[in-house]
Amino acid sequence: MKRITLAILILLAVVPLFASGVASGGEAENMTHKMTILVFQLAIIVIAVRLFGHIFSRYLKQPRVLGELVAGMVIGPYALGGIQLDFLGQQLFETTGGSLPVSPELYGFAIVASIILLFLSGLETDLPTFLRFSGVGSFVGLGGVIVSFFLGDALAVLLLPGVDNFMHPTALFLGTLSTATSVGITARILSEKRKMSSPEGVTILAAAVLDDVVGIILLAVVVGVAKVADTGGAIPWGNIGIIAAKAFGFWLIFTVLGILLGKKLTRGLKRFRSMEMLTGISFGLALLFAGLSEQAGLAMIIGAYVTGLSLSQTDVAHEIREKLEGVYAFFVPIFFCVMGMMVNFAAMKGVILFGLAYTAIAIIGKIVGCGIPALMSGFNLRGAFRIGAGMLPRGEVTLIIAGIGLASGVIGPGMFGVAIMTLLVASIIAPPTLIKSFQGGSGYRKKSRKKTTEEGLIAINLDFPTKRMTDFIRSEILTVFRQEEFFVQKMGLHIPLFHLRKDEILITLIQKDEVITLNTAPEHEQFVRLLVLEAILELKDFLKGLEGMKSPDAMGMDLMSRLFGGPSKEKKTQAEESDNGEKEE
């Protein structure tokens, strides 16, 4: 690690020596110079997010996304990026003077990254499970959204100068910001603690999906309100209703049409017999609907999310996600880094106290707003607190909402910094709080559900000799579950963690080195073991087929003869027999 860091520092020190004269005063405004600056910016961003992400993940035991955010703060225009560089003739990350502190070109990369992020989030949404657990999960999720939104909105009215009513765009944006939840951090903890299939785990996941949906619709309404407010005058309730109906109508119509036509679309694209073609066109449609969403007066991420959700129930959803993982791994860290660059430390000096109060309100809003409905739905105090703690982390939706608010001028740099502060604090305190909360007994009061509490979960452990074999068998197991019409959702990009669902069956699969662990309820244990056995038997038949093939030496001789025109094994044998006959004569 030290050697890599030293090499990067040397590289950054040497580059200016070779780059002198790249820019001159007369060329500063031409396109070539702008693209050169963009390339240098992307180079530093890519290196920084990898280093900081690695440090936070491996050494600080924090989510990688926090490291990517901090990387943006460190190299951004309000920190190291604001240093004048002679070989460029300007600062590397120069403030533009507008509402955004980064260049339009770099912000364009962040916008595309947000579309990729929400498209893949839509692909990973399990719509049947969302509808199936729409009872308790929706009740809990709506409680968290309503309480968080009201507290965030009210705090802005009480403490911010110039915000004099609850319908003020700034108050609405801060209310919407407090509703978002990042389920990725919670899902990883639940899986590692084998709590994914517990009543608390299922409820958290269902409520988090609802949070994403309601948060995106709220964002559309708030963006519409902000645009109406820009025209001047007070915002009438009639316009609010129209904006809300427009957002919900766009969401509902395009979602229903997408779900109805998604399978027909993928069936037609399969005729090309190319997954690259299918993935490319699918992502192109996400960009198309993102643009249409913006034209309709909504946020681009809504169109991207609807497109992903429409394709989530098709049989190629998993393949599309796998094909786009490389694109995701490159673009999405850039998005988080650019969001970190927008934090203006000087502008935050005047809102530090408000930021601390807003962070506390955001945390209380989730614990109380989700905990009270959980208490009313059969959970005890312990279980209600677990659900509230699981809904604490903030993530990509918070950043997207804050970025749109900053770009539109509805919130300033100070409020954007408050959003980042809330995200960092909530995401840091959530993991240890959630882990601590699961110490103790059951969190569910109803005895009829006792079998599905964490005390009754069954862990099926499969140990293999090598990691390569484990990776291969894990892939075969997932294939068998997909053939049984299970919805397979990958919960972590950097770790092999999967959530498998079908009807009432909930399974968590996680791989650690050479061990695969499947967690499920006792009543589903035999069925899960049967499917795992089926996967292993299919693998055994495959290996038997390999044993019936020619030996590697024979296969190699045949291949060499075809490549270089040498005699095949059969011809060589005939020639040898002929030579032997001549010798005998």
Helix (H) or strand (E) holding 463: strand 458-463
Statement to judge: residues 481 and 403 lie in one domain: no
The pLDDT value recorded for residue 496 is 80
Contact 394, 176 (CB under 8 A): no
Least confident of 17-31, 305-319, 350-364: 17-31
Statement to judge: residues 474 and 520 lie in one domain: yes
Rounded Cα distance, 342 and 100, in Å: 7
Domain annotation covers residue 146: yes
Statement to judge: residues 137 and 164 lie in one domain: yes
Statement to judge: residues 383 and 528 lie in one domain: no
The pLDDT value recorded for residue 27 is 45
Write the CATH number for 473: 3.30.310.10
Is residue 14 very low, low, confident or very high in pLDDT (cuts 50, 70, 90)? very low
Domain annotation covers residue 86: yes
Q: List, in sequence order, the alpha helices (H) in 55-87.
A: 64-75
Domain annotation covers residue 287: yes
Q: Is the pLDDT of residue 299 over 50?
A: yes
Within 13 Å, how many C-alpha atoms sit on residue 289's CB side? 26
Q: Is the pLDDT of residue 369 over 70?
A: yes
The pLDDT value recorded for residue 265 is 83
Is residue 50 very low, low, confident or very high in pLDDT (cuts 50, 70, 90)? very high
Domain annotation covers residue 38: yes
Q: Is the pLDDT of residue 25 over 50?
A: no
Highest mean pLDDT among 2-16, 98-112, 486-500: 98-112
State the average pLDDT for the chain: 76
Q: Is the pLDDT of residue 448 over 50?
A: no
Q: Is the pLDDT of residue 46 over 90?
A: yes
Contact 220, 247 (CB under 8 A): yes
Higher pLDDT, 324 or 350: 324
The pLDDT value recorded for residue 24 is 44
Is residue 29 very low, low, confident or very high in pLDDT (cuts 50, 70, 90)? low
Rounded Cα distance, 388 and 263, in Å: 37
Statement to judge: residues 35 and 115 lie in one domain: no
Look at residues 413, 445, 477 and tell me which one is the last residue of a structural domain: 445
Q: Is the pLDDT of residue 48 over 90?
A: yes
Domain annotation covers residue 217: yes
What are the tens digits of pLDDT across the range 110-131?
Answer: 889 888 887 887 787 666 655 5
What are the tens digits of pLDDT across the range 171-219?
Answer: 888 888 888 776 656 665 665 566 655 677 767 766 776 676 677 677 7
Q: Is the pLDDT of residue 358 over 90?
A: yes
Higher pLDDT, 183 or 157: 157
Is residue 446 very low, low, confident or very high in pLDDT (cuts 50, 70, 90)? low
Find where tokens 């109406």 sit: 228
Q: Is the pLDDT of residue 307 over 70?
A: yes
The pLDDT value recorded for residue 134 is 56
Work out the average pLDDT over 215-232.
70
The closest of 367, 473, 348, 481 to 421, measured between CA atoms, is 348
Is residue 367 very low, low, confident or very high in pLDDT (cuts 50, 70, 90)? very high
CA dihedral (139, 211, 133, 65) in degrees, to 10, reads -140
Give the rounded distance of the alpha carbon of 52 from its chain centre: 18
Work out the average pLDDT over 250-266.
80
Least confident of 295-304, 477-486, 513-522, 565-574: 565-574
Secondary structure of residue 461 in the 3-state scheme: strand
Higher pLDDT, 354 or 165: 354
Count each helix (H run) and each strand (E run) in the chain, helices first.
21, 7
Domain annotation covers residue 40: yes
Is residue 304 very low, low, confident or very high in pLDDT (cuts 50, 70, 90)? confident
Is residue 154 very low, low, confident or very high in pLDDT (cuts 50, 70, 90)? very high
% of the chain exceeding 90 in pLDDT: 8
Q: Which residues contact 5 (CB under 8 A, 6 or more apart)?
A: 51
Domain annotation covers residue 97: no
The pLDDT value recorded for residue 10 is 47
**Rounded to whole angstroms, what are the CA distances from 143 to 154, 201, 211, 389, 574?**
16, 17, 10, 14, 83
Statement to judge: residues 200 and 334 lie in one domain: yes
Rounded Cα distance, 400 and 420, in Å: 11
Rounded Cα distance, 328 and 335, in Å: 10
**Phi, psi of 180, deg, nearest 5:** -70, 150
Contact 376, 386 (CB under 8 A): no
* Residue 398 burial (C-beta neighbours within 10 Å; 0-12, 13-18, 19+): buried
The pLDDT value recorded for residue 297 is 62
Contact 173, 205 (CB under 8 A): no
The pLDDT value recorded for residue 563 is 53
**DSSP conformation letters of 199-219:** HHHHHHHHHHHHHHHHHHHHH
Q: Which amino acid is at 421?
A: M
| Residue-range definition of the domain harbouring residue 271 | 104-445
Least confident of 8-17, 78-87, 225-234, 477-486: 8-17
Statement to judge: residues 316 and 413 lie in one domain: yes
Question: What do you get for the CA distance between the two ends of the chain, in Å?
Answer: 73
Work out the average pLDDT over 69-93.
81
**Rounded to whole angstroms, what are the CA distances from 268 to 139, 278, 583?**
39, 9, 66
Work out the average pLDDT over 499-527.
83
Q: Which amino acid is at 306?
A: V
Statement to judge: residues 80 and 175 lie in one domain: no
Find where tokens 């393949």 sit: 319
Look at residues 392, 423, 445 and tell me which one is the last residue of a structural domain: 445
The pLDDT value recorded for residue 483 is 82
Look at residues 91, 117, 140 and tell me which one is the last residue of a structural domain: 91
Domain annotation covers residue 324: yes
The pLDDT value recorded for residue 568 is 47
Q: Is the pLDDT of residue 272 over 70?
A: yes
Rounded Cα distance, 495 and 491, in Å: 8
Work out the average pLDDT over 383-400.
81
Statement to judge: residues 139 and 253 lie in one domain: yes
The pLDDT value recorded for residue 554 is 61
Statement to judge: residues 436 and 470 lie in one domain: no
Statement to judge: residues 129 and 82 lie in one domain: no
Is residue 550 very low, low, confident or very high in pLDDT (cuts 50, 70, 90)? low
Q: Is the pLDDT of residue 555 over 60?
A: no
Q: Is the pLDDT of residue 453 over 50?
A: no
Is residue 285 very low, low, confident or very high in pLDDT (cuts 50, 70, 90)? very high
Helix (H) or strand (E) holding 512: strand 505-512
The pLDDT value recorded for residue 472 is 86
Number of domains in the chain: 4
Higher pLDDT, 433 or 49: 49
Statement to judge: residues 328 and 184 lie in one domain: yes
Q: What is the DSSP letter of 491?
A: -
Q: In 3-state terms, the chain is what percent helix, strand and coil (to 5)?
A: 70, 5, 20
Is residue 9 very low, low, confident or very high in pLDDT (cuts 50, 70, 90)? very low
Work out the average pLDDT over 87-97.
71
Q: What is the DSSP letter of 395?
A: -
